[in-house]
């Protein structure tokens, strides 16, 4: 008898009523934010692993260039005819899109 009175006065019912919406919000957050972010991160890591000499890249600082040499963590990039710089591999944000793909998208 005392247990039933304790449960009524404790607000346990209120906590149990709020719990399902929080679970739904967590699931919603996971599928709409966390999973797509992980997929983008995996794709970026895959791109960094598959870099090769001659690839045209864009650095995270916005520098456009062409890869001339690759080591474990350092990539040498030609940014002008006689200018080559060394950057960390993880400073590469993306590959440049070929100009032809933009023209074919318009058609």
pLDDT in tens, 65-88: 999 999 989 999 999 999 999 999
The reply to whether 34 and 71 lie within a common domain is: no
Contacts of 62 (CB under 8 A, 6+ apart): none
Q: How many structural domains is the chain composed of?
A: 2
pLDDT of residue 22: 85
The reply to whether 77 and 41 lie within a common domain is: no
Contacts of 72 (CB under 8 A, 6+ apart): 89
pLDDT in tens, 7-64: 555 566 777 778 888 888 888 888 898 899 999 999 999 999 999 999 999 999 999 9
pLDDT of residue 1: 46
| CATH code (residue 78) | 2.30.30
The reply to whether 12 and 38 lie within a common domain is: yes
**Inter-residue contact 79 to 91 (CB < 8 Å):** no
What is the rounded CA–CA span in Å between residue 45 and residue 12? 46
pTM attached to this predicted model: 0.67
């Amino acid at each position: 008898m005392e247990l039933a009175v304790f449960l009524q006065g404790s607000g346990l019912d209120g906590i149990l009523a709020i719990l399902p919406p929080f679970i739904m919000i967590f699931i919603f957050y996971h599928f709409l934010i966390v999973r797509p972010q992980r997929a983008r991160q995996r794709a970026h890591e895959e791109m960094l692993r598959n870099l090769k000499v001659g690839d045209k890249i864009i650095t995270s600082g916005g520098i456009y260039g062409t890869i001339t040499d690759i080591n474990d963590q350092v990539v040498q990039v030609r940014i002008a005819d006689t200018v080559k710089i060394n950057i960390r591999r993880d400073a590469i944000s993306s590959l440049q899109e070929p100009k032809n793909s933009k023209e074919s998208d318009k058609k």
